[in-house]
Structure 1
Amino acid sequence: MGEVVQMHFTKEDYIIFALLLVASAGIGLFYAFSGGRQRTTQEFLMADRSMSCLPVSLSLLATFQSAVAILGAPSEVYTFGTQYWFLGCSYFLGLLIPAHVFIPVFYRLRLSSAYEYLELRFNKMVRVCGTVTFIFQMVIYMGVVLYAPALALNAVTGFDLWGAVLAMGLVCTLYTALGGLKAVIWTDVFQTVVMFAGQLAVIVVGASQAGGMAEVWKKAINGSRIAGLDLNPDPLERHTFWTLGVGGVFLMLALYGVNQAQVQRYLSSRTEREAVMSCYVVFPCQQVVLCLGCLMGLVMFARYGENSPLDKGYVKSNDQMVLYFVMDVFRDLPGLPGLFVACLFSGALSTISSAFNSLATVTMEDLIKPLVPNMTEEKATLLSKGLALAYGLVCLAMAYVASIMGSVLQAAFSIFGMVGGPLLGLFCLGMFFPWANPTGALVGLASGLAMAFWIGIGSFLMRLPGPTLVPSLNTTVLPPLDNITMTTVTSLVTTVTAKPRPTGVEALYSLSYMWYSAHNSAVVVVVGLLVSLLTGPMKEEDLTPGTVFPVMRSLRSFLPERYREKLCCVTPLAMKHKEINQMDKKGSNGAAYCKEDKDMESDKAAREDEDMDTSITHPSYQATAYSVQETAL
């Protein structure tokens, strides 16, 4: 095994990398000293609910398709082939469902935090538990995203490890704390462009050096890197069509349906229609990003074949292979390695800044404001900025522990499956099952998290290697050498002894990480429903209007009549865009629709319509957006 080969940056590379950091910080400073100057929490945390479709969709793309994808996807394809590409099949449902289920519910409720929904649907305790779970998830994830690219850069180029970590962390903290969500979204747009440029440059130059894309494809086919459709239903198989195309749907729902970092972007849109359109626009962009990652992996294989830099000892982990490849391809082209590193760090910056902003939002809206309801707007905004700064320092601390988490791609997906899965289950329990009660929600969430960490930690401690092929000890007498046919050779080569399929608890630990989200969300829903039925199902009159999606209404028609009455259903009425726009114009900041606005709206409606049922006193009830429809059939 050789030593790690370090290829150092040139002056041009450092200049390009520094320009990226300066530009990102500059965008944050611009929004700190322009417009409303981030003087209200609505502007700082919600961008005044004034963002258009394109920047929101590019920000959605950048938030989770970042350094993880840039480092992980090419090395995954290089090592295992293009089976990973089938993850793209999950994007369709993974974005269609949020666009037409989650966004309408969240947007019409005029929320700032996704976890406000949990209080409206269940109670304050469920909201707090959901918030704390999300904070735990994002803090761990930030450590992975910050540390992994810095470690890879240090190992391959000698770039100072903690210098890179501090540069990213501090710049990101600066523009997030000063510029708020507007700065985060617009830096995401800039960083997305840089990401595309860096990946395209590597693919074009690398393919050219390999003899063109036709030659790259030919070598990939000869090296068995072009994977076919693997329809093996075994959930223990790491990657098949079902694990990627179906298990990936639940992962996408956890990311794009209920994760605060994404929900906050939907809610920052000017209208519900633009929020839905941003989901549609991000779909082709995701496919492009996935294809770029796969193409880079194939170009890597065309350059190195089976003699990978990892096998030769030039790098120490899969996550360093991409940077080694980039430095190798661009060794005679000063400045281009700096462009790719800027691309890589753009991905990390976009993800971390989104995490800072969403963490500051949920901490303020879900934990602090309920305890200090009379806080002035000036103090709340200042505290929100302080929270963004504090989470930046926490992120730097978490970078210390991220190095033991293995492959960056698998680590990131595992985190979201282990923690995001139960959160997805909690939201689904509330949104699709009207009879689920707060006790069921709490017990379900606890059960889902317990199951998630049992499997996740068990898998980490007892990680089973993939099936290894070893020569068989079969003592069959071989025919004379000149009589051996190709069939005989093939038979001899494929006569192997594979590791037996795990059973029992070992099988649970061997579950593909792509199924974590589906499995853990299902546990929350099943346990939550059982506990709710045992402790007394939620009654229709106790439900806040607009918190249940009417999917059960159509499903109930297939049930016997005696069961229909037990399945209540609250149906949101479609709010007209004109009504939403009128609501958006309330208040001086153009979009605030806070608790006071709701109370004023309710009082006004009560005075204008003397026949309104005055028994409805829930402070978050919004008569302009929703009503309860009779569901007796």
Structure 2
Amino acid sequence: MVEMKFSLVDYVIFALLLLLSTGIGLFYAFSGGRQRTTQEFLLADRSMSCLPVALSLLATFQSAVAILGVPAEIYSGGTQYWFLGTSYVLGLLIPAHIFIPVFYRLRLTSAYQYLELRFGKTVKICGTVTFIFQMVIYMGVVLYAPALALNAVTGFDLWGAVMAIGLVCTIYTTLGGLKAVIWTDVFQTVVMFVGQLAVIVVGAHQAGGMAAVWQKAQEGGRISGLDLNPDPFERHTFWTLGLGGVFMMLALYGVNQAQVQRYLSSRTEKEAIMSCYMVFPCQQIVLTLGCLMGLVMFARYGEDSPLKNGYVKSADQMVLYFVMDVLKDLPGLPGLFVACLFSGALSTISSAFNSLATVTLEDLIKPYFPDMPESRATLLSKGLALGYGLVCLGMAYIASLMGSVLQAALSIFGMVGGPLLGVFCLGMFFPWANSTGALTGLLAGLVMAFWIGIGSIVSRMGASAPLPHLNTTAVPNTGNMTTVAMTTLITAITSRPTGLQRFYSLSYMWYSAHNSTTVVVVGLIVSLLTGPTKEKDVTPGTVFPVLGTLLFFLPERYREKLCCVTPLDYRPKEPGAQQRLMPHKESNGSTFPTEEGKGEDEESESPPVVNRYIHIVHETSL
């Protein structure tokens, strides 16, 4: 067994990561507007360019769990997982051209404000509470899991690492707001790339070069072909990864508050869309680096893994063992990889703090205190970020007591992503969906998600046959928190189950698709039974007219009944003139568009509202 220990240089590099992250927060706390308004603290004053936003989008859910999990998955199961990259195309194009325009043009701060505009306050509150529940559980796991792996392999103080990461995150998020979070994400993304690349280069060199690595992986059966098996109960196939992965990407990059908040911080809608495009090659690089590290691990150990020899207790500790083994004679590089590992944790947790503070303030507090002064609202948002930081430390302690229940906590997180995606899709794509259908559909989706998730855990625990070693502990990642969480639910099994046991063995990659579809189907049925929403009652700008395009072959009278006639496109009268239509409530409860800056009593210059879910004009600048 390799002797694992940190040198002084390793500790210095790790400490520099924490100091620089804190320094970025302090810089933005005492520069610019000094975070004196909620717009600056929560949305970076809508002033960010596409490159830092893109790197922040990437870093937000490229967690430490993923850095540990993907190489372990490749080592154990082969390169089939790499085909997940095919899902990134639609998984990023759809948010770029559907979700971002809708959210950006409505001038939202919280994604769940959309649910209020479309379905009312009850649905918004349910969505917000669901998101808070999801994120609070995940924060503690993301903080505790890498600290536990580091402690097990290197003897690095467990709670010292937890406290350092938790407190540093809390400090720079509370002081510097979203702008500090985004720029620390940029710094941490660079550290992640450099750390992983250093391990791959050194490891491949020691194995005899990448050609030798590839040959050993081929001889060991780790280079997978294209598996076109359509069976949704197979853990990883091309269709499972390529199609199921699209829904998982949408749950993250389409409707998750942490990502939506970054889109909304962009200077223009065009830059928000460009940031989504720029994530695509970055995601491919991240996935490729994880796969290459897994292959280099296999080239070093073959079938004689550290886990098999008892050097580590679980598969997710193998990566750290491998890093310490490969870099043991190169002081500073182990510290660089640990900095890479904890950069993933820092970026994920700080994003969680900021997004949780935003939805709590905007969705749960401000509606009941509409006259709250800006200074007090800003102070409250900082207090909320600080409070969630302390909650994160508490959740890390609870995670330490969970033991085997830790996987259940990750699973609970993953069960929520699909239903939330479903309720947003129900609102954007189906104009006749009503609030009763949305609420019923969301509850049905959550029930279905927990039924399958908990059922799969119970059935696996009760199985008498042992599971084959295909990485039951490591958590591979798509860059999507839902994927990260649900990977712990489903593992390959030796026997073919029947009945409900078969149902519980559904691949984790189909969970978001299955649960979001449940929300849409139940929501549409209930809406039709309880009285579909009429065209005149749909809030302008909340429906994307996809049905009008897909059902072009129907006569117009039928499309009108389905609320999918071609919407109007209001444009400024003069070139370059800025105009933004803002929804506001009339005394009768209906919602109408007004130009930003006009009072509700002022007459709008817009033409009469013929179709209530109009295209709001495209702005090139704010």
Give the TM-score taking structure 2 as reference length.
0.88
Alignment of 1:582-593 (within 5 A): 582=578
2:67 aligned partner: 70
For residues 138-184 of structure 1, the C-alpha deviation after alignment (integer angstroms, 9 at most, x for no partner) is 11111221111101100000011111111000000000000000000
Q: Distance in 2 between matches of 1:579 and 1:347?
A: 45
For residues 507-552 of structure 1, the C-alpha deviation after alignment (integer angstroms, 9 at most, x for no partner) is 1211111111000000000000000000000000000011000101
1:601 CA displacement:
3.0
Alignment of 1:306-325 (within 5 A): 306-325=303-322
Q: Secondary structure at the match of 1:601?
A: coil
1:51 CA displacement:
0.1
1:502 aligned partner: 497
Of 415-424 and 50-59, the range deviating more from structure 2: 415-424
Confirm whether residue 377 of structure 1 aligns to residue 397 of structure 2: no
Q: Distance in 1 between matches of 2:210 and 2:181?
A: 36
Confirm whether residue 519 of structure 1 aligns to residue 514 of structure 2: yes
Residues 570, 617 of structure 2: 8 Å contact kept: yes
2:538 aligned partner: 543
Of 508-517 and 174-183, the range deviating more from structure 2: 508-517
2:433 aligned partner: 436
Q: Distance in 1 between matches of 2:293 and 2:355?
A: 32
The 3 A distance-change label for structure 1 pair 598 and 354 is: farther
Q: Secondary structure at the match of 2:160?
A: helix
Of residues 595, 599, 603 in structure 2, which corresponds to 1:603?
599
Q: Distance in 1 between matches of 2:250 and 2:333?
A: 36
Of residues 189, 208, 212 in structure 2, which corresponds to 1:215?
212
Q: Secondary structure at the match of 1:38?
A: coil
2:490 aligned partner: none
Q: Secondary structure at the match of 2:197?
A: helix
1:45 CA displacement:
0.1
Confirm whether residue 45 of structure 1 aligns to residue 42 of structure 2: yes
Q: Distance in 2 between matches of 1:127 and 1:374?
A: 21
The 3 A distance-change label for structure 1 pair 232 and 25 is: same
Q: Distance in 2 between matches of 1:580 and 1:48?
A: 22
1:475 aligned partner: none
* AA of the residue aligned to 2:85: G
1:624 CA displacement:
6.6
Of residues 145, 163, 186 in structure 2, which corresponds to 1:166?
163
Q: Which runs of 5+ in 2 are unaligned?
A: 470-492, 583-590
Residues 595, 604 of structure 2: 8 Å contact kept: no
For residues 263-295 of structure 1, the C-alpha deviation after alignment (integer angstroms, 9 at most, x for no partner) is 000000000000000000010000000000000
Q: Distance in 1 between matches of 2:16 and 2:544?
A: 47
1:197 CA displacement:
0.5
* AA of the residue aligned to 1:193: V
Of 136-145 and 532-541, the range deviating more from structure 2: 136-145
Of residues 44, 47, 54 in structure 2, which corresponds to 1:57?
54
Confirm whether residue 290 of structure 1 aligns to residue 287 of structure 2: yes
Q: Distance in 1 between matches of 2:438 and 2:362?
A: 21
1:565 CA displacement:
3.4
The 3 A distance-change label for structure 1 pair 152 and 24 is: same
Residues 418, 456 of structure 1: 8 Å contact kept: yes
Q: Distance in 2 between matches of 1:547 and 1:454?
A: 31
The 3 A distance-change label for structure 1 pair 600 and 231 is: closer
Confirm whether residue 343 of structure 1 aligns to residue 311 of structure 2: no
Q: Number of aligned residue pairs: give it.
A: 580
Q: Distance in 1 between matches of 2:572 and 2:93?
A: 21
1:567 aligned partner: 562
The 3 A distance-change label for structure 1 pair 578 and 166 is: farther
2:94 aligned partner: 97
* AA of the residue aligned to 1:435: W
Residues 141, 410 of structure 2: 8 Å contact kept: no
Of residues 241, 251, 264 in structure 2, which corresponds to 1:267?
264
Alignment of 1:83-94 (within 5 A): 83-94=80-91
The 3 A distance-change label for structure 1 pair 405 and 82 is: farther
2:278 aligned partner: 281
1:304 aligned partner: 301
Of residues 436, 458, 463 in structure 2, which corresponds to 1:461?
458
* AA of the residue aligned to 2:106: L
Alignment of 1:376-395 (within 5 A): 376-395=373-392
Q: Distance in 2 between matches of 1:74 and 1:577?
A: 56
1:121 aligned partner: 118
1:452 CA displacement:
0.5
The 3 A distance-change label for structure 1 pair 579 and 72 is: farther
For residues 178-232 of structure 1, the C-alpha deviation after alignment (integer angstroms, 9 at most, x for no partner) is 0000000000000000000000000000000111111000000000000111111
2:234 aligned partner: 237
Residues 10, 332 of structure 2: 8 Å contact kept: yes
Of 227-236 and 597-606, the range deviating more from structure 2: 597-606
For residues 376-412 of structure 1, the C-alpha deviation after alignment (integer angstroms, 9 at most, x for no partner) is 001100000010011111111111343558799x889
Q: Secondary structure at the match of 2:353?
A: helix
Q: Distance in 2 between matches of 1:290 and 1:171?
A: 28
Residues 114, 258 of structure 1: 8 Å contact kept: yes
Q: Distance in 1 between matches of 2:52 and 2:330?
A: 32
1:255 aligned partner: 252
Residues 602, 623 of structure 1: 8 Å contact kept: no
The 3 A distance-change label for structure 1 pair 560 and 502 is: farther
1:623 CA displacement:
9.9
The 3 A distance-change label for structure 1 pair 615 and 229 is: closer
Q: Secondary structure at the match of 1:273?
A: helix
CA RMSD of aligned residues (A): 2.8
Of residues 514, 523, 548 in structure 2, which corresponds to 1:553?
548
Q: Distance in 2 between matches of 1:407 and 1:572?
A: 52
Identity %: 76
1:106 aligned partner: 103
1:581 CA displacement:
8.6
1:80 aligned partner: 77
2:481 aligned partner: none
* AA of the residue aligned to 2:335: G
Q: Distance in 1 between matches of 2:23 and 2:449?
A: 41
* AA of the residue aligned to 2:318: M
Q: Distance in 2 between matches of 1:426 and 1:577?
A: 36
Q: Distance in 2 between matches of 1:126 and 1:167?
A: 38
Residues 541, 616 of structure 2: 8 Å contact kept: no
* AA of the residue aligned to 1:55: P
Residues 431, 563 of structure 2: 8 Å contact kept: yes
The 3 A distance-change label for structure 1 pair 139 and 573 is: farther
Residues 546, 572 of structure 1: 8 Å contact kept: no
Q: Secondary structure at the match of 2:6?
A: coil
The 3 A distance-change label for structure 1 pair 466 and 520 is: farther
Confirm whether residue 361 of structure 1 aligns to residue 350 of structure 2: no
For residues 227-279 of structure 1, the C-alpha deviation after alignment (integer angstroms, 9 at most, x for no partner) is 11111111111111111111000000000000000000000000000000000
Q: Secondary structure at the match of 1:147?
A: helix
Q: Secondary structure at the match of 1:207?
A: helix
Residues 540, 569 of structure 1: 8 Å contact kept: no
Residues 594, 600 of structure 2: 8 Å contact kept: no
